[in-house]
Amino acid sequence: MAGTGPGWVVSLVCDDNVTMCGVRLEVGPPGRLLQGSPGGPPEARGGAVVTVGKDVSQVERRLAAGLLVCPRCGGRLGPWGHARTRRLRGWVGLLSRQRPRRTRCAGCGGTHVLLPVNALVRRADEVVVIGAGVVLAAAGWGHRRIAARLGRAADTVRGWVRRARGSAEALRLGFTELLVAVDPDPVVPDPGAGALAGAVAVLAAAALATVRRWGAAVSGLSVWELAAAVTSGGLLTPPGPAVSINTSCPW
């Protein structure tokens, strides 16, 4: 089965692997796909960012043990310094400081940033906050009203909404592919409520299907953290060859 959309090319082939925009993605249970330790939390793979958990000490242990792998060649990732420190805003403006680990592949030499699953690339707010704004926009709220509800600057929220609307059709198609890949009997939401509302509906359906498929491995993540994981932190990046939806078990 194959699908195409604005900036997206998705092909699902018979060996349970997915190729999207030239990036090899995978569909299957955590143990086989993500090459983690038995019983340990796997990591979502894709692009220059590897999505990992929020527990820094656990990420460091897995990195030191050689359990994190390169999304390009499958080689072992090793420590390679850190990315710059960033502040991430949560609910009611609560701030946390993150200094994501930078890694280098022992095989191809590529470097990758380990991005916690609650963050998005180039965004200063936690994904659950951004997701709440996107849901309200899909329900017809304007960006100023959303900003007042979430306690964020109007310009910040306008940026979220503008990017989400611009990527809505691509996200709807991509998350529909994810839903079909992980659910043996998928119920695809009706896209008739508008592009953004359709994207949000299918994103939520795909997240619920992912929880049903892998259970406890992902049950601790919110819908929007799952969305961040399967897009490798690129949920609000422009659709195109550099953006992929990772249909591996994201956690």
Predicted pLDDT at 220: 78
* 151 Cβ neighbours under 8 A, 6+ residues apart: 92, 93
Question: Which pLDDT score is estimated for 107?
Answer: 92
The parts of the chain modelled with pLDDT lower than 70 are: 1-48, 239-251
- Per DSSP, the residues of 212-225 read HHHGGGTTTS-HHH
Domain boundaries, the chain: 2-230
Q: State pLDDT tens for residues 97-110.
A: 888 899 999 999 99
Instruction: Determine how many CB atoms are found less than 10 A away from the CB of residue 36.
Output: 18
- The pLDDT, as a whole number, for residue 239 is 64
Q: Which long-range contacts (CB under 8 A, 24 or more apart) does 16-20 make?
A: 18/177, 18/181, 18/247, 20/174, 20/177, 20/244, 20/245
pLDDT in tens, 124-141: 999 999 999 999 999 999
Q: Are 120 and 230 in contact (CB under 8 A)?
A: no
Tell me the pTM.
0.75
